[in-house]
A and B are shown apart, each in its own frame.
With several copies, the nearest count.
Chain A
Amino acid sequence: MSASTAKPLLSLKGISKSFPGVKALQNVHLDLYPGEIHALMGENGAGKSTLLKVMFGAYSADEGAFELSGEPVSIRGPVDALHKGISMVHQELSLVPQLSAIQNIVLGWEKSVAGFIDWSAARREALAALARLDFQGNPHVPVSRLSVGQQQTVELARAIAANAKIIILDEPTASLSTKESEKLFSILRELRADGHALVYVSHRLAEVFDLADRATVLRDGQYVGTLLRGPDLNETSLVKMMVGRSLEDFAIQHEATLGAVALKVDGLARNGVFQNVSFEVRRGEIVGMAGMVGAGRTEVARCIAGADRIDAGSVSVNGKALSLSSPSDAVRAGIAFLTEDRKHQGLALRMSLAKNATLTRVPTRMGFINRTKQAADAKSALASVGARMPTTRLAGQLSGGNQQKVVLAKWLLSGCDIFIFDEPTRGIDVGAKAEIYALMRDLADKGAAILMISSDLPEVLRMSDRVLVMREGTLSGEVARAEATEERIIAFASGGNTWQS
């Protein structure tokens, strides 16, 4: 199946696409061969999603041509794309929350007689696709009741069920952990074996080396180059092409200087989600929390941050037990919670950076907001996280990486010194990742206590001084930095062995 010999299934020639103020794509080429997994790489805002949406007909290109197995074609919209055998798994979860898995899978191409949906056919096709991905959840309840991981599976099922030759996946693993990712990869390999052509976007380099036959890199909407699987498809070259410079990889040979216990969680429980979770975080250390999606990590974090009701157990800061009735209690106690969902829980997208950054601490003079100080505070905070853009920009206009930096700036200004990061680098490119890692480490060295929830194992290993592992709502293990390896963590996460520290 050496891709180069076959002739391209789909080729994009000289694609350009602009949005008001942004040239998202300029003269981009892409050839897609049957039976290959083609990685599309690039920094946040490089234009990956835009290119994919053009392929899928969700956006129409300003310039450029399509050839489908040699034939020049035009893709007039998503339905047209589906009919031409192109399906897509979008970057943002794109399911209708109120509809069941089955309904979501067939949405838009239901078989119907005189407008009446043929439900038995729908069930057949959808359940087949779900079975193939051995989906565990209930296919009849609204997908809003499924876990993030399950929702992701439903999306993939939707792409497969349409039995398209070309399947586009935009960061499918962003909200998956290693275990689910592995499952996904094996499915993708099967599809490749069946001669499907897959386009695959991810910010996790490891996956790309693991999976991709070829990798095409975009930078600032322009085609940089394509690397074939082999020696020259390696981290340094890829990063160089993406970022335009080489990043000093910091394998942090760093010894945390541990201070007093800042955060102590004791027998914490939330009915139906997690039970009896106990751990402490000391000043100066970064405690990683690994686990599969749905293990309950976010819920633990939300309870500590006062966002959800606690059913049992206690949270104490600097030895003092907190009574958490709302997030404001946690914030007052110095707990900062950087959520996994930046767009809906991290930033007010229609407000300026200044207002976002100072939201927890609006500077006032005699009861009135001191706009000058507000702008100044925001500016310095943004500078300290290496984000240099005008404080009057709207948060919604930033790329994923910069948005995360603004969230961080907000919490730096809040005066909190206990930080909970949930998926701190989800959907963030290598360049921005490096900066955020440095910031986290710097915070810890300045005496902050950090709990880092992450589904990205390399990240966990790289950053953590200590790793907690959750499984099905319980703390299944704790691994010290020294003996932390992927294998051990996965073992705890998936129930290979259990051991309480």
Chain B
Amino acid sequence: MAKLEAANASPGAAATEKWSVRRLFSEWRELGIIAALIMTVLVFTAIDPEFLSSYNLVNIVLQASVTAILAMAVTFVIITGGIDLSIGTALALSAVVSGLLMSQGYPLPVVVLGTLATGALAGLFNGTIITLSGITPFVVTLGSMSIFSGLALIVSGGQTVYGIPPEFSDLLAGKIGPIPTPIVIAFVVLVVSSVVMRMTKLGEYLIALGGAREVARLAGIKVGFYTAIAYVISSSLAAVGAMVTVGRLGAADPALGADLLLPAIAAAVMGGADLNGGEGSMLGAVIGALLIATLQAGLTFLNVQAFYQQVAIGVVIILALLSNRLQKA
């Protein structure tokens, strides 16, 4: 049954069928990765039942939240057939800015706007160069990755920004009801992103220009404009991730984030994003992030050495993609 559906899954396509919540998030493309996630959890639990203790699960989701946000960010870009190697350092840059704003006691609205603006500008930089010059996104963002990281260090003078007023931490890293705020934020991003992709022109056009750029152009879609938008969204989401991180650590380290890039891309692709463009799933990206977090948590939980953790994570990334393949076929 599911198998059958999976066979004719597609990013937007189903949108035209009668509406349903399931369809908003998923078209079964995520089955492979979900399976991988469940498997992983089972394995760890089998080794140490403690692992499944309710808290630990919440804990893992919490740890996944920022990676998940970045994974969704890069998914927006991957759907257009591009890639954004700069989200990691864009996060660092926004984090430093937001840290400075917070520590200098600006009110929340200013902090939020300032941080988002920083991210948006970073994205605008990428988007503009890519659309105007026609250089491959891979290389443009490779360059801007280095630029943003440099800027982050310059802005912060290479110092970790500390002295974040506790109210920010409480707000950004506290709890809403029983649920930790970062999880709530990640969830909101998931819903909004899914809605954008499934129910708006923007989402439709991103898929179109990722799937067939020239066709989109002939259909009168402003491909340049929408490509740029994708990068602005991606960096702005990185800025959201930045605020969450700063809130959680109570400090803004200019070296933050760089190491989140590859996990985020891995999560997005494991979640079904097609690096050739035209396909990608926000839910999948989130689950991909969860898978990686589960691995790290589980391996740490079992006190596995750093060396072996790296090998394990690499192997799982490849296995997860294999299971995607098999499920597609």
Contact = CB atoms under 8 A, between A and B. Distances in A.
Asked if A and B form a direct contact in the complex, defined as CB atoms under 8 angstroms apart, the reply is yes
B201 interface: yes
A378 B214 CA distance: 21
Given A100-B12, A351-B12, A368 B199 contact: yes
B16 A98 contact: no
A129 B204 CA distance: 21
Given A98-B10, A107-B204, A367-B200, A139 B16 contact: yes
A186 B61 CA distance: 60
A4 B214 CA distance: 37
A245 interface: no
A79 B220 contact: yes
A96 B207 contact: yes
Contact of B212 (A95, A103, A141, A352): A95
Residue of B13, B202, B217 with most chain A CB atoms under a 10 A cut-off? B13
A344 B215 contact: yes
Interface stretch (A177-185, A234-242, A353-361): A353-361
Contact of A110 (B204, B214, B222, B278): B204
A369 interface: yes
A347 B13 contact: no
A103 B204 contact: yes
Interface in B199-229: 199-202, 204, 207-208, 210-212, 214-222
A327 B218 contact: yes
A349 interface: yes
A350 B209 CA distance: 11
Given A109-B220, A351-B207, A344 B16 contact: no
B264 to A, nearest CB: 23
Interface residues of B, number: 32
Contact of B220 (A78, A119, A126, A355): A78
A327 B223 CA distance: 10
A305 interface: yes
Contacts of B17: 140, 392
Interface in A174-221: none
Nearest to B221: A108
A337 B279 CA distance: 26
Given A117-B200, A364-B201, A107 B219 contact: yes
Interface stretch (A251-259, A328-336, A455-463): A328-336
A497 interface: no
B148 to A, nearest CB: 29
Contacts of B202: 115
A99 B15 CA distance: 9
B104 interface: no
Contacts of B14: 100, 140, 392
A350 B17 CA distance: 16
Given A82-B220, A352-B13, A392-B17, A97 B211 contact: yes
Contacts of B222: 326, 328
Contacts of A115: 200-202
Contacts of B214: 94, 344-345
A275 interface: no
A360 B12 contact: no
A394 interface: yes
A330 B220 contact: yes
A346 B215 CA distance: 5
A375 interface: yes
Contacts of A327: 217-220
Contact of A348 (B16, B19, B195, B208): B208
Given A98-B10, A140-B16, A117 B215 contact: no
Contacts of A307: 217-218
Contact of B215 (A328, A348, A352): A348
A393 B17 CA distance: 11
Contacts of B201: 110, 112, 115, 117, 362, 364, 369
A367 B199 CA distance: 9
B45 interface: no
A142 interface: yes
Given A332-B220, A362-B204, A371 B215 contact: no
A354 B17 CA distance: 10
A108 B19 CA distance: 21
Given A119-B19, A354-B12, A354-B16, 13 more contacts: A82-B220, A95-B215, A96-B212, A98-B278, A103-B12, A103-B16, A107-B208, A307-B218, A327-B219, A359-B215, A359-B219, A371-B15, A394-B12
- Sorted from nearest, which 5 A-B pairs have the closest CB atoms? A79-B220, A331-B220, A108-B219, A352-B12, A348-B212
Interface of B: 8, 10-17, 19, 195, 199-202, 204, 207-208, 210-212, 214-222, 278-279
16 contacts: A82-B220, A94-B212, A96-B278, A98-B13, A102-B16, A103-B12, A119-B16, A138-B8, A307-B218, A347-B215, A352-B10, A352-B16, A367-B200, A371-B15, A392-B14, A394-B10
